[in-house]
Amino acid sequence: MKCRKCGGAAVINMRQHKLALCAEDYLAWLPEQVQRSIEKYEMFSPADKVLVAVSGGKDSLGLWDILARLGYQADGLYIGLGIHGGFGYSDQSRALSQAFAGARGLKLHIVEVEAAYGATIPELAVISNRGHGRPCSVCGLNKRYIMNRVAHDGGYTALVTGHNLDDEVAVLMQNTLNWAGGYLARQAPVLAATRPGLARKAKPLCRIYEREMAAYAIVRGIDYIYDECPHAVGSTTLYYKELLNQLEEKRPGAKLQFYLSFLQAKEAGLFSAAASEPDLHACQRCGQPTTAPGECSFCRLWDKVRAVKGLPTRLPASMLQPHVETEP
Ligand code: AMP
Ligand code: FES
Ligand code: ZN
């Protein structure tokens, strides 16, 4: 297989784009695609202070690398979840994120959930008895809260995650199978900061296939964690990803088409009836935006868990700030 641009040996063949490229041309091509999405969906500009949430995986580290190469001011945030299964998942992902930042002289904020709030995510899931034995829902709640908080406290104007096309399409499929109108109306490449205290959120990899990110990380020599979170094994999302891969195998480009036509349908107003701005107000404890009356679900969750663990509850507001370590 030859590179379409220079005729050299191709390292990747993207059937969905009818395009094969050599290492050098691929390393130039992918950031151009990401830049196009950033511009098309008006995610952020070089004047923005960007916070990239990094998990130590290929998508988020690859994204951070691309944003730095494109000249954006992008700092990282790693959240230590205290997941010790799967060969020390959290320790490994933290070490890889730190090594990545250290080697490039990039600034990485680190929040360890246990050190900041008093329990690991798996412990939190067991004690709170949420999510039917899976920590994923409390994990998501904590990650979203901490990301918003660090973005807001650090004066970041955009918060970006490494969600790729495969992630977005799996969610889209789930939402479509359930005709979850509200979720469909809110699923977007960029979410404006509609309330004070909420950072603008963007997914610059929303049109990039997972396989393209894996190839980028390998060709670029980025050391990343190969394993999924051990709690993701057997999840519905992974099941949908497998189904979608079968579809893609038969019809190259099917995932991208599904996603782009969804965005077009939304643009045309197909989900506007379901689009309602949630009624947000400040949590009485921590001040973060919430839909819950009174205190937000993060504050209530931690109150309950700290009480069970015999830790003082009713923390003063300042203690609710995550403990942030900054490197370098
Ligand atoms: P996931 O939900 O694991 O597929 O992750 C989606 C995105 O969330 C990643 O690409 C990261 O941008 C972000 N993310 C996931 N886990 C973490 C973490 N432990 N710390 C910071 N960001 C994370
Ligand atoms: Fe949060 Fe798996 S439970 S990453
Ligand atoms: Zn709160």
46-65 confidence digits (pLDDT tens)? 999 999 999 999 999 999 99
**What is 37-62 written as a DSSP string?**
HHHHTT---TTSEEEEE--SSHHHHH
User: What local confidence, expressed as pLDDT, does residue 198 receive?
Assistant: 75
Q: Is residue 161 part of a domain?
A: yes
User: What local confidence, expressed as pLDDT, does residue 197 receive?
Assistant: 65
Please state, in angstroms and as integers, the Cα–Cα distance from residue 231 to each residue in 79, 190, 242, 264, following that order.
16, 27, 17, 34
Q: pLDDT exceeding 90 applies to what percent of the chain?
A: 80
In angstroms, the CA 271 to CA 274 distance is: 5
Measured CA angle at 46 (ends 42, 48), to 5 deg: 75
Q: Is residue 36 part of a domain?
A: no
In angstroms, the CA 75 to CA 228 distance is: 24
Residue 283 clears pLDDT 80, i.e. is over it: yes
The alpha carbon of 297 and the centre of ligand 2 are apart by a number of angstroms equal to 18
When pLDDT is averaged across residues 257-265 and rounded to a whole number, the result is 98
The alpha carbon of 189 and the centre of ligand 3 are apart by a number of angstroms equal to 26
The alpha carbon of 251 and the centre of ligand 2 are apart by a number of angstroms equal to 31
Instruction: Say if ligand 2 is within 6 A of residue 189 CB.
Output: no
Q: Is residue 25 part of a domain?
A: no
* Residue ranges lining ligand 1, Cβ < 6 Å: 53-55, 59-60, 77-79, 81, 143, 161-163, 167
- Number of domain units in the chain: 1
CATH number at residue 271: 3.40.50.620
The string of pLDDT tens digits covering residues 292-313 is: 889 999 999 999 999 999 998 8
Residue 68 clears pLDDT 90, i.e. is over it: yes
Pick the atom of ligand 2 nearest to 125's CA: 3
Q: Is residue 166 part of a domain?
A: yes
Query: Would you place residue 314 in the very low, low, confident or very high pLDDT band (cuts 50, 70, 90)?
Result: confident
Q: Is residue 14 part of a domain?
A: no
Residue 328 clears pLDDT 70, i.e. is over it: no
Q: Is residue 12 part of a domain?
A: no
Q: Is residue 275 part of a domain?
A: yes
Q: Is residue 5 part of a domain?
A: no
Residue 130 clears pLDDT 90, i.e. is over it: no
Pick the atom of ligand 2 nearest to 231's CA: 2
Q: If you compute the radius of gyration of the chain from its CA atoms, what whole number of angstroms results?
A: 20
Instruction: Say if ligand 2 is within 6 A of residue 94 CB.
Output: no
When pLDDT is averaged across residues 159-175 and rounded to a whole number, the result is 98
Q: Which ligand is nearest to the CA of 297?
A: 3
Q: Which domain holds residue 71?
A: 41-327
When pLDDT is averaged across residues 215-225 and rounded to a whole number, the result is 98
Q: What is the mean pLDDT of the chain?
A: 93
Instruction: Say if ligand 2 is within 6 A of residue 81 CB.
Output: yes
N-to-C CA span, the chain: 43
Instruction: Say if ligand 2 is within 6 A of residue 229 CB.
Output: yes
Residue 133 clears pLDDT 90, i.e. is over it: no
User: What local confidence, expressed as pLDDT, does residue 321 receive?
Assistant: 78
Which of the two residues, 325 and 35, has the higher pLDDT score? 35
Q: Which ligand is nearest to the CA of 145?
A: 3
Query: Measuring from atom 4 of ligand 2, which residue has the nearest CA?
Result: 229
Residue 171 clears pLDDT 80, i.e. is over it: yes
